[in-house]
Amino acid sequence: MGISLFNLDGKIALITGSTHGLGMAMAMGLGKAGATIIVNGNSSQKKIDDAVLKYQKAGIKAFGFKFNVTKESEVINAIQEIQNNHGAIDILVNNAGIIKRTPLEEMEVHDFKEVIDVDLVSPFIVSKHIVKSMINRKQGKIINICSMMSELGRNTVGAYAAAKGGLKMLTQNMATEWAKHNIQINGIGPGYFATSQTAPIRVEGHPFNDFIVNRTPSGKWGDPNDLAGAAIFLASGASNFVNGHIIYVDGGILATIGKPSNEN
Ligand code: GCO
């Protein structure tokens, strides 16, 4: 079997929110394993075009599609255009997400709903419209990007934790309903990674930065490239009997109660 177990040659992979950050890191991994990458973003066409160039410079076949994952009509049209131009989507990574850090008692309802909309409802919308062709073809891979907050709470990220906790259970229910069609639906739970999303809390000397380094048995923030392996595994034939499982790539955070700050 060897490396063919992880080979993605000929596969079409859509990664939502893949113009930067963890989405791009995972998509680069899938692309280097052979997949054609469908790059998605919703900010600007220039950002998408710049990202496509980065993939192409890495020797990866990539095409950009600008659509808002929370708008069902945009999702339907984009999926149709992707399928017409490039073929059926074999691998879907629901990565697009936002976070708003506000104490719950101060959070506006519209802000809470926006986080739920992007982080929980949109994976449902995109999966619902892609799974139909996976069911017809009796094959497919869906990877939902969860979080430490799928398992743990933290001050000021209540809406995000509710969404990511829900995404873990949505992953398990997708597996329950769709596994019989030879579709594997799993999740990846990143720990604390060095990205634009965590930049505000990763400043040297910031109490949270010191907390995370101490709370993570590996003693450091993750490098986004460390996520590629889990993505390739869950997108490839190596995981054909893995379903409803969240792989935590977290440097050991969930394995431990932590240690006093003065202990090595
Ligand atoms: C935060 C961080 C986390 C990480 C990640 C952890 O404010 O606590 O942004 O939410 O981004 O989700 O898995």
DSSP 53-89: HHHHHTT--EEEEE--TT-HHHHHHHHHHHHHHH---
Q: Quote the CA–CA distance of 242 and 101 in Å, as a whole number.
A: 34
Mutate which of 196, 198, 216 for ligand 1 pocket (most atoms within 8 A of beta carbon): 198
Backbone angles phi, psi at 248, to 5 degrees: -90, 120
Q: Is 262 helix (H, G, I), strand (E, B) or coil?
A: coil
Q: Tell me, what's the pLDDT at 37? A: 98
Q: Tell me, what's the pLDDT at 3? A: 60
253 has pLDDT over 60: yes
Task: Identify the band that residue 263 occupies on the pLDDT scale cut at 50, 70 and 90.
Answer: confident
Q: What residues contact 167, with CB distance under 8 A and at least 6 apart?
A: 94, 119, 120, 123, 144, 145, 146, 150, 187
Cβ neighbourhood burial of 74 (10 Å; 0-12, 13-18, 19+)? middle
1 has pLDDT over 60: no
The CB of 99 under 6 Å from ligand 1? The reply is yes
Tokens at 90, concatenated? 């074999």
217 has pLDDT over 60: yes
The CB of 227 under 6 Å from ligand 1? The reply is no
Q: For 83-94, how does the pLDDT look when each residue is reduced to its tens digit (9 = 90+)?
A: 999 999 999 999
192 Cα–ligand 1 center, Å:
6
Q: What is the pTM of this model?
A: 0.97
Average the pLDDT over 152-175 and give the result: 98
Q: Tell me, what's the pLDDT at 260? A: 87
Q: Tell me, what's the pLDDT at 80? A: 98
Beta bridge partners of 247: 188
Ligand 1 atom with minimal separation from the 201 CA: 7
Q: Quote the CA–CA distance of 180 and 120 in Å, as a whole number.
A: 23
